[in-house]
Amino acid sequence: MTSVLSIQGAVAGYATGNVLHGVGVEVAEGEAVAVVGRNGVGKTTLMRTAIGQLPLRAGSIAFKGTDITAEPADRRARRGIGYVPQGRGIFPHLTVRENLLMGGFINEARRNPDFELVFGYFPFLRERLGQRGATLSGGQQAMLAIGRALINEPALLLLDEPSDGVQPSIIEEIGEILSDLNRTRGISVLLVEQNIGFMQRVAGRAYTLDKGRVTSELGPEEIADERLLAEHIAV
């Protein structure tokens, strides 16, 4: 299996100090991998390091075999990484249509925003195209953020707690969609998630993160073990 994303020995953090102390995460082509852990262990820091918002202080990152450690976030996105940040990152004053168009710079090689692909998964967006992003509900914004990251068919989706603040029925729907994107379209996924059911539906395996270190790797059977998972996630 070829690797899509390979993070090795990642050390990163803020002016206040390091948050990640040598994290290693691998995502193979077509794989959906989860990162789980308690609040504040560094999950978002890991995702921001992966897309390039935070520089690596040590370690390396490769995308499809190419070293991208020194590349800024925009370059990484144009290589084909779609990012859905915690809090969704919707542009409040852009319309839904414009928010979707903003996904069009991801995956430069393709350069052809496929609105029909997005409407296929999120049909409600079609009726909302002229509405400002800020006027959508939390669940709708989560779906818009996924649609935006998806519109140019990236090779890899980075998702940071997409279920956060979304009502249960919608969470289930988003889970189905991500799972379908991964299985039928072959888009690789790295997912940070605290919602166990959602994570189980989407991911094939998982890393547990604690205090900026990977503490274990869970295979498909272990992922199904609610008790084991609860131990890693519970506050």
Partner 1 sequence: METQSLVLSLLYQLGTSAAFFFLAAVGLIIILGMMNIINLAHGELMMMGAYTATIATHAGVPFALTVPLAFLVVAAFGAVLERLIVRRFYGRQLGALVVTWGISLVMGQGTLLFFGPFMPSIKIPGGSFSYGDFSFSEYWLVLIAISVALIALLWWLYNRTTYGLQARAAMQDATMAKSLGVRTGRVYTLTFSLGAGLAGLSGALIAPTATIAPFMGQQFVAPAFITVVVGGAANVIAGAVGSATLLAAVKTPVGMAFGAFYGTVALLFAALVIIRIMPDGISARLQRWFDRRSRSGLL
Ligand X SMILES: Nc1ncnc2c1ncn2[C@@H]1O[C@H](COP(=O)(O)OP(=O)(O)OP(=O)(O)O)[C@@H](O)[C@H]1O
Interface with partner 1 (CB under 8 A): 51-53, 72-74, 77-78, 83, 85, 89, 91-94, 98, 101-103, 105-106, 108, 130-132, 134-135, 148
94 binds, among Mg ion, partner 1, ligand X, none (CB under 5 to 8 A by kind): partner 1
Round to whole Å and give the CA distance between 185 and 202: 14
Site for ligand X contains 41 (CB under 6 A): yes
92 binds, among partner 1, Mg ion, ligand X, none (CB under 5 to 8 A by kind): partner 1
Site for Mg ion contains 8 (CB under 5 A): no
Q: How far is the CB of 105 from partner 1 (least distance, A)?
A: 3
Of 13-21, 72-80, 91-99, 227-235, the window that binds ligand X (rule: CB under 6 A) is 13-21
Site for ligand X contains 171 (CB under 6 A): no
Q: How far is the CB of 223 from partner 1 (least distance, A)?
A: 28
Site for Mg ion contains 86 (CB under 5 A): yes
Q: How far is the CB of 185 from partner 1 (least distance, A)?
A: 20
Residue 140 tokens, joined: 């709708």
Instruction: Using the minimum distance from each CB to ligand X, give the nearer residue, 44 or 188.
Output: 44
Q: How far is the CB of 166 from Mg ion (least distance, A)?
A: 15
| 22-81 positions binding Mg ion, by CB under 5 A | 43-44
Instruction: Work out the number of other CB atoms within 10 angstroms of the CB of residue 70.
Output: 11
Cα distances (Å, whole numbers) of residue 156 to 28, 126, 161 = 10, 25, 16
**Closest to 155 in 3D by CA, of 180, 126, 182:** 182
Site for ligand X contains 39 (CB under 6 A): yes
Site for ligand X contains 235 (CB under 6 A): no
55 binds, among partner 1, Mg ion, ligand X, none (CB under 5 to 8 A by kind): none
Instruction: Say what angle helices 168-185 and 138-150 make with each other, to 10 degrees.
Output: 10
Q: What is the full DSSP assignment across 73-120?
A: HHHHHHHHEEEE-TT----TTSBHHHHHHGGGGSSTTT----HHHHHH
Of 43-51, 113-121, 150-158, 180-188, the window that binds ligand X (rule: CB under 6 A) is 43-51
CA 66 to chain centre: 20
Instruction: Work out the number of other CB atoms within 10 angstroms of the CB of residue 25.
Output: 19
Looking only at the bridges linking them, the beta strands covering 81-84 and 156-160 are parallel
Instruction: Using the minimum distance from each CB to ligand X, give the nearer residue, 94 or 196.
Output: 196
Q: How far is the CB of 187 from partner 1 (least distance, A)?
A: 16
Cα distances (Å, whole numbers) of residue 96 to 100, 114, 128, 164, 216 = 6, 14, 6, 20, 40
